[in-house]
Structure 1
Amino acid sequence: MNNRRINRRTFLKYSLSAVGSIGILLGISGVYGIFGERYWIQSQTVRLAYRRYPVAFAGVRIVQFSDTHIGKYYSMKRLDRVVALVQQHEPDIICFTGDLFDSEYGVVSDDVIPVLSRLQAGMGKFAVLGNHDMRLDPDRVKDVLERSGFTVLVNANRTIERGNGRIRVVGIDEMFHGKPDLPLALRGTKKDEFVLLLAHEPDFADTSLVHPIDLQLSGHSHGGQIRVPFYGSLFTPDLGQKYSMGLYAFENSEFHVYTNRGIGTTLFPIRFNCRPEITVFVLETKLL
């Protein structure tokens, strides 16, 4: 009888100890995710080769950032740091793939203009709008980006020339609240031209795949924002679930989609095992 009582007491003691340890670990993880990782920006370099990529564009650096979600949980001071990090990569082309402001905890503000205006890229700065931008005020967000030096592409494209080579940068309208029209966005492109598509929602890749597009850059998913080791993300948003993070290739095609994990956060001001990201693309011509 006494042994049973001892065993029960021992079991209760160790159970409480285990629960306490788990609670401490969760607390530490929460503090790290809120005050540490969500500001710990990681730079990724992605190297790809394409048959349609012009030799004249060798060495061009395309830098992508996304989903800043400026508002209560991401300040102008933090944005200032993002701009500095982007410029450290000496970009030739800068691409922003949407959600400049957070629709839940932010407002459209001209205060970002002098900060974003410091971004310099010799071949241009290009942007598309995200679902949060659309929910706030797409015309105002577009105006802020344009006054910051960005060309905002809404079912449209622009040509970039270098030497005897040229590429197209294409932007598609946002999927939830806009009217994406890829044939319209591609109007004027030639079959032999390299096409870079900016699309906020990465799952648009299923449409891009059957069109003459080489590389799609997207954001939206935040990479899941909270990723449990050996399990993956706890949640990814609609239209950001199939291609939620990183680089994806497709069988019998040179087409790729890259989903940037974004800079800010939404719903909860926390990142875990999913650092914010700036991506540098260095492309080259694939030899036949």
Structure 2
Amino acid sequence: MRKLSRRQFLKGALGTFAAGLLTAGGGYGYARYLEPQMMVTVKQTIKSPLLAGGLDQFKIVQFSDTHLSEEFSLKDLEKTVLHINDLHPDLIVFTGDLIDKPHIYQDHYPALQTLKKLSAPFGKLCVFGNHDHGGYGSAAYENLMKAAGFEVFRNGLKTIKLLDGSQLDIAALDDLMLGKPDYKGTLSNLRDDVFA
């Protein structure tokens, strides 16, 4: 095994430290500045013999990670809401991280009014993301989303029933990082004869 000189060791340590800083800075920059501006619409067709009848054309629109802040403004949220409504969803699901820093964000009421404009005949559901949780945001997020017409889940099951008897189960789990997801308790309620 070759011995490293003090200079070689310091040079290697400094290089590792610099690479770590660049990686962390790049990840932060992506999450803070790029991700909030990336509205991507992906259409996914799900096929299953359990999706017969009225569920054959049932449309769910899922969105998340708006991170309301200076980088993703209320105007951006309004554009997102218009885009979602233009898709004519049967059900809307928000999967977390509404506000980037809930403890300092001030525009709760305008955000609430914008989210109220989302419309789907089978309702609006949401779960918590890590930014919605913690010592600063859980109650504010839950109250805002309920006031905007969302059914808020931490762990639970929602059954959608159509007039023709078709059913669809939606399983909702709490955030993995800061919440308390109950996989066993939630998923044990799923039925073999209903698509979930």
TM over 0.5: yes
Structure-2 separation of matches of 1:146 and 1:38: 23
Q: 1:143 to 1:54 in 2, by over 3 A?
A: farther
One-letter identity of the residue aligned with 1:121: A
The higher-RCO structure (CA 8 Å, 6+ apart) is 1
In 2, Cα distance between the equivalents of 1:103 and 1:130? 12
Bigger fraction of residues in helix = 2
1:72/1:106 contact within 8 Å kept: no
More strand as a share of residues: 1
Q: Which 4+ stretches in 1 moved above 6 angstroms?
A: none
Letter in 2 for 1:99: D
1:111 equivalent in structure 2 = 110
Q: CA RMSD in A?
A: 2.3
The amino acid that maps onto 1:95 is: V
Q: How does 1:105-184 map to 2 (within 5 A)?
A: 107=105, 109-135=108-134, 136-162=136-162, 163-184=164-185
SS of residue matched to 1:49: coil
Equivalenced residues, count: 162
Q: Does 1:52 align with 2:50?
A: yes
In structure 2, how many angstroms separate the alpha carbons of the residues matched to 1:52 and 1:65?
25
**Residues 103 and 38 of structure 1: CA distance in aligned 2, closer, same or farther (over 3 Å):** closer
In the aligned structure 1, how far is the partner of 2:76 from the partner of 2:103?
16
- Measure, in 1, the Cα distance between the counterparts of 2:36 and 2:175: 25
Partner of 1:77: 75
Amino acid at match of 2:193: D
Displacement after TM superposition at 1:40 (Å)? 5.8
Checking the alignment, whether the CA contact within 8 Å between 2:112 and 2:147 is kept in structure 1 is yes
User: Any gaps of 5 or more consecutive residues in structure 2?
Assistant: 1-28
Deviates more, 1:75-84 or 1:37-46: 37-46
Stretches of structure 1 that go unaligned for 5 or more consecutive residues are 1-29, 196-288
Question: Which letter maps to 1:103?
Answer: K
Could you tell me which amino acid in structure 2 is paired with residue 178 of structure 1? Answer: G
